[in-house]
Structure 1
Amino acid sequence: MSRAETTQALGRLDDLTRRLRAECPWDREQDEKSIVPHTVEEAYELADAANAGDDAKMLDELGDVLFQVVFLSLLLEERGAGDLEQVAEHVRQKLVHRHPHIFGETEVADADEVLRNWDQIKANEPGRERGIFGEVPENLPALLHARKLQRRAKSAGAQPVADDRDAAFEEVGDLLFNAVSLARRLKIDPELALRSASARYRADVEAGAATD
């Protein structure tokens, strides 16, 4: 598809979204708080399609996620806080800023160094919450929350990469499944237990950073 065809397709989706917002009773009633749960659900459905390697399903789910972006951008536009063009330009500028090894003079050795630079650049951007765990959403699912805390804490050093990622993927899945099974037998909520462990981990890391 050419650039012109892509632009036209996005324009048609924008037109349709505006019509739904104006004419559909359900769409007229929505706001950010009512729409975001659907956005999260669509993101999980996209992740499921990606994990399954189902390209046709990915195409479908990507469309659903894109509609969420267009709809939420329209809500911003309605109150003069932004629009789809500003959303696209903002993320473009942000990606340029966070890839100095592409758009600047910075040199990197590998993907781990890219990630470390990304975290450092992001932490120093205006308006960002300070600290190792600044802007880690508390409402992430417990597993994602734990992973993000660990990645932030370890961003100063390279992480080992498994030689066989497929085997590692299955091994980690089995480990998590067995952990949930153990929690069930002990009558412990695994979500709450992991959140508690993440909170202890965060407190320990922050206490260590404060004494450095």
Structure 2
Amino acid sequence: MAAGDAFEELRELTLRLRAECPWDREQTERTIVPHTVEEAYEVADAALAGDPARLHDELGDLLFQVFFLSLLLEERGEGDLESVARAVHAKLVRRHPHVFGDAEARTAGRVRERWEAIKIEQEGREGVFHDVPASLPALLRARKVQRRAAAVGYDWPDLDGPTEKVREELHELFAEIERSGRPGAETEPDERVAAEVGDLLFTVVNLARFVNVDPELALRATTGRFVERVELAERLAAEAGEAWTELDLDAQERWYERAKAALASGDRS
């Protein structure tokens, strides 16, 4: 089946759901967008997991979100799926003059520089941090802000800058922790410690940007590995007749290292 036919069938399905499903009839942009964000993260998880079948499935869920939100625009006479597609087509052509015009951009870095310049010169974007959504996850927003600053030349010339800045911020954080001590459980953090934690996270995001690592995806992957290792460690301990929650930290750490080694070797049994 041609892609156009598949898209038309999905559009007709979206129309029918909007008309006949009680849940779909009640939805607005505000109620749908949380689902859109969730689907985007599920696409990211599938891509990071290297699971083509799951990625295929999650991309379909995300595509439906685009169709549904476009339908909401159409109902108000403010656009439709066709206008959305044509607008993004025109924008991508405009932002790739090195492909569709006479401009030259021989590196990915130069493409990004031209991309930001076109936004300002041709699209009327104003300010260094134009259109950076406040609703972005904090790590992604920090990276986007840093990229915007770099686009106007406010950036380290090489990796030494962000590397040294991480060391500096880590030292400052430790100094504030030593000054304030550890707070009691469920109490307000020391304001200066909180500020230094934020500074350290911001500089780590900057370092990640310099080594082409998406901090949001990297942290999600690390968190996933930690969950997988602890769950396996708990199971291995249980198989040996030991209750994970009753073990001291040293014993838990030994099971954790066994789980880590097992997963590294591909043994999840």
Give me the TM-score of the superposition, normalised by structure 1. 0.73
Matches within 5 A, 1:87-126: 87-126=84-123
Aligned to 1:57: 54
**Corresponding position: 1:154 with 2:145:** no
Displacement of 1:14: 0.3
Other-structure match for 2:129: 133
The letter of the residue matching 1:82 is: G
User: For residue 77 of structure 1, what is the aligned residue in structure 2?
Assistant: 74
Does 1:47 find its partner at 2:34? no
Structure 1: distance between partners of 2:148 and 2:79: 30
Larger Rg: 2
What is the CA–CA distance in structure 2 between the aligned matches of 1:53 and 1:72, rounded to whole Å? 28
- Tell me how far apart the structure 2 counterparts of residues 96 and 160 of structure 1 sit (CA, whole Å): 32
Q: Secondary structure at the match of 2:30?
A: helix
Q: Does the 8 A contact of 1:142 with 1:195 survive in 2? A: no
Structure 1: tracts of 5 or more residues without a match: 162-181, 202-212
C-alpha distance 95-142 of structure 1, shift in aligned 2 (>3 A): same
- Aligned residue pairs: how many? 173
- Change over 3 Å in CA distance of 1:195–1:154 after alignment to 2: farther
- Partner secondary structure for residue 154 of structure 1: helix
Q: 1:132 to 1:10 in 2, by over 3 A?
A: same
The one-letter code of the counterpart of 1:143 is L
Q: Deviations over 1:59-116 (max 9, x none)?
A: 0110011000000000000010000000000000000000000000001120000000
Distance 2:150 2:36 in 1: 29
Sequence identity, in percent? 58
Query: Any idea what SS the aligned residue of 1:137 has?
Result: coil
Match of 1:37 in 2: 34
Q: Which residue of 2 aligns with 1:145?
A: 141
Which residue in 1 is equivalent to 2:244? none
Which AA in structure 1 matches 2:137?
A: P
TM-score, length basis structure 2: 0.58
